[in-house]
Amino acid sequence: MTKRDLVIRIADETGLIQQDVAAVLQKSLDYITEALEKGETVEFRNFGVFEINVRKSRIGRNPNKPENVVTIPERKVVKFKPGKIMKQRITGI
């Protein structure tokens, strides 16, 4: 499902104009991104939690030339943990 598919589906079900739905959806995504940028956790009850994790720096090697050692710097990654209801619906448990 793409963002466009989601906009069309919401517009059809609510009777709102697609442009308005697209604007609200984009603004929501922008605010989620801003919060994650600031290091905040974004939580949607029964859906899931987005949070930032920091991967430690580590040593990497080229498989073709193992003698070449490269230091991979630490970096931030977005982690998503599904909520209870989402887990139940997907896994059927």
Structural contact between residues 74 and 40, judged by C-beta atoms closer than 8 angstroms: no
Indicate which CATH number applies to the domain containing 67: 4.10.520.10
For residue range 24-60, list pLDDT tens digits in order.
999 999 999 999 999 999 999 989 999 999 999 999 9
Q: How far is CA 12 from its chain centroid?
A: 25
Task: Work out how many domains the chain is built from and give that number.
Answer: 1
* Mean pLDDT value of segment 71-91: 93
Range of the domain at 35: 3-91
In the predicted structure, residue 65 carries a pLDDT above the cut 90 = no
pLDDT at 62 over 90: no
